[in-house]
């Protein structure tokens, strides 16, 4: 039994199939099959039930999986520890909310890439809850999420505070008219990202305090889709002012502030507390602090 065998075993267990594990590991199925058989022979126990629809763990496999994952994590941390010395290089996997990725990160990312050409940056976008889960699962080294974050396993670095605003069709003159339209129109909708988005939850909480619990939701996967449909009069959304300003200046939407205290959302850069950050991540965090000084 060695670390490579355990890595192959964990990949099969997590993907549920030899073919899917081979694709993840960028190898051929016969290599994966051989590794699993060798591991089972070394341990003298079957680790998987084989079936036409894939594989499932045996009781022995279930007991082994946490150790295989831990070995993989320790090896990853060892690589990070070695990469934390000298000039940053290697992969840097980070996540960000779509609004942050679109409006806040292009400049810092370009500057970081120019300074550290040996770092391979991978950026994943998604809602806050999903990004936090990806950091906790060690898939991402860090992520930009909306605060507050109450999670003992994470370190949260304040980055900036966004001014959140209600965004509606240009014909909507003020917040009172917007709320009246949402309250009276049977077809009224709010346009939001999928579940797990902090801005969506803030909008839903705001409407609930106004007694507007009947308003229907339309989910979108992109910021451009939301703004385009708001401009067309399909509904209302809640996003950072910096995101909505270009469309407002072009006359495509109207922008309305929330009551005092409701319109502020802090963006945080989070990473695991128990992991040694790579040199690339530490330099990237420095770049972010320089780009967004407190």
At 194 the pLDDT is 82
**Does the predicted model carry a pTM greater than 0.75?**
no
Stretch among 9-18, 77-86, 147-156 having the lowest mean pLDDT: 77-86
- Digit-coded pLDDT (tens) for 90-116: 889 999 999 999 999 999 999 999 999
> CB-based contacts of 6: which residues, under 8 Å, 6+ apart?
39, 64, 67, 68, 71, 72
Q: Convert the pLDDT of each residue in 252-281 to its tens digit.
A: 999 999 876 678 899 999 999 988 788 889
Q: What is the pLDDT of residue 261?
A: 64
Among 16-25, 151-160, 186-195, 266-275, the minimum mean pLDDT is found in 186-195
Check residues 61 and 86 and name the one with the higher pLDDT. Answer: 61
Report the pLDDT value the prediction gives residue 185, as an integer from 0 to 100.
66
Mean model confidence pLDDT for the chain? 89
How much is the pLDDT for 215? Answer: 84
What pLDDT, in 10s, does the model give residues 132-157? 999 998 889 999 999 999 899 999 99
Helix axes 3-15, 18-25, angle to 10 degrees: 120
Task: Work out the average pLDDT over 187-197.
Answer: 85
238 within 8 A of 166, measured Cβ to Cβ? yes
Q: Do domains 90-159+266-291 and 162-265 have the same CATH topology?
A: yes
Give me the residues paired with residue 144 across strands.
96, 269
Instruction: For residue range 226-262, list pLDDT tens digits in order.
Output: 999 999 988 899 999 999 999 999 999 999 998 766 7
Predicted confidence at residue 80, as pLDDT, reads 66
What percentage of residues in the chain have a pLDDT greater than 90? 55
pLDDT value at 287 more than 90 = yes
Q: What's the pLDDT band for 173 if we cut at 50, 70, 90?
A: confident
Residue 219 vs residue 89, higher pLDDT: 219
Is a pLDDT exceeding 70 seen at residue 223? Answer: yes
The ranges assigned to domains in the chain are: 3-83, 90-159+266-291, 162-265
Q: What is the 3-state secondary structure (H, E, C) of 222-280?
A: CHHHHHHHHHCCCCEEEEEHHHHHHHHHCCCCEEEECCCCCCEEEEEEEEECCCCCCHH
Which one of 3.40.190.10, 1.10.287.110, 3.90.79.10, 3.40.47.40 gives the CATH number of domain 162-265? 3.40.190.10
Tell the CATH topology of 90-159+266-291. D-Maltodextrin-Binding Protein; domain 2 (3.40.190)
Q: What is the mean pLDDT of residues 30-45?
A: 92
Q: Which CATH architecture has domain 3-83?
A: Orthogonal Bundle (1.10)
Q: Which residues contact 52 (CB under 8 A, 6 or more apart)?
A: none
């Amino acid at each position: 039994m060695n670390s490579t065998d355990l890595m192959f075993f964990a990949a099969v267990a997590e993907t549920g199939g030899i073919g899917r594990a081979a694709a993840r590991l960028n190898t051929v199925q016969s290599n994966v099959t051989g590794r699993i058989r060798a591991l089972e022979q070394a341990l003298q126990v079957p680790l998987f039930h084989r079936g036409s629809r894939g594989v499932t763990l045996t009781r022995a496999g279930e007991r082994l999986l946490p150790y295989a994952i831990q070995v993989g994590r320790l090896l990853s941390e060892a690589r990070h520890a070695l990469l934390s010395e000298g000039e940053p290089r290697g992969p840097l996997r980070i996540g960000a909310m779509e609004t942050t990725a679109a409006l806040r990160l292009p400049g810092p990312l370009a500057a970081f890439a120019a300074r550290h050409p040996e770092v391979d940056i991978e950026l994943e976008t998604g809602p806050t809850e999903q990004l936090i889960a990806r950091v906790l699962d060690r898939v991402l080294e860090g992520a930009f999420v909306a605060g507050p974050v109450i999670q003992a396993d994470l370190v949260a670095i304040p980055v900036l505070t966004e001014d959140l605003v209600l965004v509606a069709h240009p014909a909507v003159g003020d917040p009172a008219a917007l709320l009246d339209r949402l309250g009276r129109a049977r077809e009224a909708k709010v346009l939001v990202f999928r579940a797990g988005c902090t801005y969506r939850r803030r909008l839903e909480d705001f409407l609930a305090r106004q007694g507007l619990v009947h308003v229907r939701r339309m989910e979108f996967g992109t910021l451009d889709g939301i703004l385009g449909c708001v401009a067309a009069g399909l509904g209302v959304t809640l996003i950072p002012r910096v995101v909505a300003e270009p469309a407002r200046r072009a006359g495509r939407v109207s922008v309305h502030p929330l009551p005092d205290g409701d319109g502020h959302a802090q963006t945080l850069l989070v990473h695991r507390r128990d992991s040694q950050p790579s040199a690339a991540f530490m330099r990237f965090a420095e770049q972010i602090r320089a780009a967004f000084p407190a």
